[in-house]
Amino acid sequence: MRRKVLLIIPLILALLLFSSPVAAVAPSMFEADLNSIDMGTPVTFTNLCTLGTPPYTKAEWDFDGDGVFDKTVTGNHAEVMANVVWVYYHPGSKSVTLRMTDSMAVTYQETKQGYIIVFECGLLAYYDANGDGIMSKAEALVAIADYFEGDITKWQALWVISKYFETNS
């Protein structure tokens, strides 16, 4: 029995020393009150950043995924963490990035690809059958079928959606 214990101890030590730690998932740095909107609808973004060493000194927002920060907020911690409002005037799928700078001048960044979907004016409201402010897959298929004036396949719908966002983002 003692011999088995002596053989197991090095094995346990090796597992402890050489096993990789489980990667922790970072909490989301921001959220939006709406994700599917008609053009011209204000979207409120809530800064949820908890990374680094507060107080934070700067928040930089890219609301359309073009790599250029559209809004920069500096000042005290409360000002930097305050909600921001953005209005989209062009339809398409929009990626959003938040880059935060903490009190040690370290930056943290999160990008959410295709986070906001902007529809042409009235389209979302017209096809939002249940009034939840989000166009579901079924509601989107109805909108596309109406566009083609009849039934279409799932693949035709996906092609139309991909072409729409390719040309309008």
Report the C-alpha gap between 94 and 97 in whole angstroms: 10
Instruction: Return the structure tokens found at 121.
Output: 């004016």
Taking the whole predicted model, whether its pTM rises above 0.85 is answered as no
For residue 157, CA distances in Å to 117, 139, 142 come to 16, 12, 10
For the chain, what are the domain ranges? 30-168
Q: Which fold is adopted by the domain 30-168?
A: Immunoglobulin-like (2.60.40)
Q: Which residues of the chain have pLDDT under 50?
A: 1, 4-7, 11-20, 22-23, 167-169
- pLDDT digit string (tens) for 15-42? 444 444 544 567 899 999 998 888 888 9
For residue 100, CA distances in Å to 24, 49, 79, 82 come to 20, 8, 13, 12
For residue 64, CA distances in Å to 12, 19, 68, 118, 168 come to 50, 41, 8, 11, 11
